[in-house]
A and B are shown apart, each in its own frame.
Chain A
Amino acid sequence: MRNHAPILIIIVPLIASFINIVLGLLKKNLCYPLVIATLALCTFSSLVTMNTVIDTGTIHYRLGGWAPPWGIEYVLDHLNSFVAVIVSFISLIIAIYSKRSVEQELPEKIVYFYTIYLLLITGLLGIVVTGDVFNLYVFLEIASLAGYALIAIGDDRKAPVASFNYVIMGTIGACFYLLGVGYLYIMTGSLNMADLSNLLPNLYHSKVILVAFAFFMVGVAVKIALFPLHTWLPDAYTYAPSTVSALVASTMTKVGAYVLMRITYTVFKPYFSVEVIPVSTVLGWVAAAAVIFGCIMAIAQTDLKRMLSYILIAEVGYIVLGVSVANRMGMTGAILHILNDAFMMACLFLAVGAIVYKIRDRNISSLTQIHRKMPLTMAAFTIAGISVVGIPPTCGFFSKWYLVLGAIEAQKWVFAAVLLISSLMTALVFFRIIERVYFASSTSSVTSHNPGGHHGHEKAVVDEAPLSMLIPILIMAGGILVLGLFSGKIVSTVIQFAVPASF
Chain B
Amino acid sequence: MNIEFIIGKYNYWIYIILMMIGFYAMIAKRNLIKKLVGMNIFQTAIILFFVSTGSKKGGATIPIIYNVHGKAVGAIEATQYINPLPHVLMLTAIVVMVSTFGVALALTIMIYKKYKTFEEDEIL
Contacts and interface: CB of A to CB of B under 8 A. Distances in A.
Contacts of B100: 141, 145, 167, 171
B96 interface: yes
Interface in A135-175: 137-138, 141, 145, 148-149, 152, 157, 160-161, 163-164, 167-168, 171-172, 174-175
Interface in B91-123: 92-93, 96, 99-100, 103-104, 107-108, 110-111, 114-115, 123
Interface stretch (A85-93, A177-185, A399-407): A177-185
A157 B114 contact: yes
Given A167-B100, A175-B43, A152 B53 contact: no
Interface in B69-106: 85-86, 89, 92-93, 96, 99-100, 103-104
Given A141-B96, A152-B107, A160 B46 contact: no
Nearest to A182: B50
Contacts of A172: 23, 26, 42
A78 B108 CA distance: 42
Contacts of B35: 168
Among A137, A157, A171, the one with the most B-chain Cβ atoms within 10 Å of its Cβ is A171
Contacts of B114: 157, 160
Contacts of A152: 107, 110
B89 A134 contact: yes
Contacts of B86: 182, 185
B23 A149 contact: no
Nearest to B109: A160
A179 B47 CA distance: 10
Contact of A168 (B26, B46, B49, B115): B26
Given A138-B92, A145-B100, A182-B53, A171 B39 contact: yes
B18 interface: no
A171 B107 contact: no
6 contacts: A148-B107, A152-B110, A167-B104, A171-B43, A172-B26, A185-B86
A145 B108 CA distance: 15
Contact of A179 (B26, B49, B107): B49
Contacts of A141: 96, 99-100
Among A134, A157, A164, the one with the most B-chain Cβ atoms within 10 Å of its Cβ is A164
A42 B110 CA distance: 34
A174 B103 CA distance: 15
A26 interface: no
A186 interface: yes
Contacts of B32: 164
Given A141-B99, A167-B100, 6 more contacts: A134-B89, A149-B103, A157-B114, A160-B111, A164-B104, A171-B39
A185 B53 contact: yes
- A interface, by DSSP: helix, strand, loop or mixed? helix
A178 B96 CA distance: 12
A148 B102 CA distance: 11
Interface residues of B, number: 28
| Interface range, A side | 20 to 34
Interface string B19-32: 00001001000001
B56 to A, nearest CB: 13
A161 B107 CA distance: 8
A152 B104 CA distance: 11
Contacts of B111: 160-161, 164
Nearest to A167: B104
Interface string B34-68: 01000100110010011001000000000000000
The 3 A-B residue pairs whose C-beta atoms are closest, nearest first, are A160-B110, A141-B96, A160-B111
A191 B58 CA distance: 27
Contact of B42 (A175, A185, A186): A175
Contacts of B23: 172
Interface string A429-470: 000000000000000000000000000000000000000000
A157 B113 CA distance: 10
Nearest to B83: A189
A134 B87 CA distance: 13
B84 to A, nearest CB: 12
A178 B50 CA distance: 10
A167 B103 contact: yes
Contacts of A164: 32, 104, 107-108, 111
A238 to B, nearest CB: 15
A175 B46 contact: yes
Contacts of A174: 96
Contact of B39 (A157, A160, A168): A168
A275 to B, nearest CB: 29
A206 to B, nearest CB: 15
Contacts of A161: 111, 115, 123
Among A145, A160, A163, the one with the most B-chain Cβ atoms within 10 Å of its Cβ is A160
Contacts of B104: 148, 164, 167-168, 171
